[in-house]
Chains A and B, each alone.
Chain A
Amino acid sequence: GAGVSQSPSNKVTEKGKDVELRCDPISGHTALYWYRQRLGQGLEFLIYFQGNSAPDKSGLPSDRFSAERTGESVSTLTIQRTQQEDSAVYLCASSSGTFNTQYFGPGTRLTVL
């Protein structure tokens, strides 16, 4: 079946602009996660959606970052007034089931000039 998809695959923007990144989870997966990975670094948790529960936003680095998800479908991560330090690969994962096995999308590479 189809895996997690993300769009765009690459995004180049100018400092100060807003960007939206999209994630389509695996069909039927109730949980969806966003991570950031800077070049040569580990995964940095950003936000987690589980069904209709309130999202866990504990990893969002600033109020410039926000995310939405409608039901168990698509999620959008928005970064307002982008800064150069926002340059990274943004990864989305989805999961379902008792053991919370996460499957990752291909990521969006964001470059802020």
Chain B
Amino acid sequence: QKEVEQNSGPLSVPEGAIASLNCTYSDRGSQSFFWYRQYSGKSPELIMSIYSNGDKEDGRFTAQLNKASQYVSLLIRDSQPSDSATYLCAVNYGGSQGNLIFGKGTKLSVKP
């Protein structure tokens, strides 16, 4: 069974610190990986996608992928209170014909 695991948190970091969110997945055939942010009462919003090993940076966000270890992470630099949300990791096992498997999410709280 294909699974995506995340620590549910809550992860609490002070404002200005680096928040590190982690995700592991079960199937080595995974092809693409996504991080979504979900504010309370809102729908998930795509913030990062990554397809190959290594780092991908976009503003304050960096996604890191290690396919050998079946591990993907999201780093948020200079964390702001507005980053407080639940972060969902999603893995695509089936290419353009497949579905995403979502983790249950990590709740992040950034304290002023």
> How many A-B contacts at CB < 8 Å in the complex?
55
Contacts A100-B32, A100-B94, A106-B43: A42 and B104 contacting too (C-beta < 8 A)?
Answer: yes
Interface size for chain B: under 10, 10 to 19, 20 to 34, or 35 or more residues? 20 to 34
Whether a CB of chain B sits under 8 angstroms from the CB of A62 is: no
Q: Is the CB of B43 within 8 A of A99?
A: no
Contact: B96 with A97, CB < 8 Å? Answer: yes
Minimum distance in angstroms from B9 CB to a CB of chain A: 13
Q: Which of B17-25, B44-52, B53-61, B69-77 lies on the face that meets chain A?
A: B44-52
Instruction: Report the interface size class on chain A.
Output: 20 to 34
Interface 9-mer from A12-20, A43-51, A71-79, A80-88:
A43-51
Extra contacts, 20 of them, besides A56-B99, A102-B34 (Cβ < 8 A), are: A42-B88, A50-B97, A91-B44, A97-B96, A98-B95, A98-B96, A99-B31, A99-B51, A99-B92, A100-B32, A100-B95, A100-B99, A100-B100, A101-B32, A101-B34, A102-B46, A102-B90, A104-B45, A105-B43, A107-B43
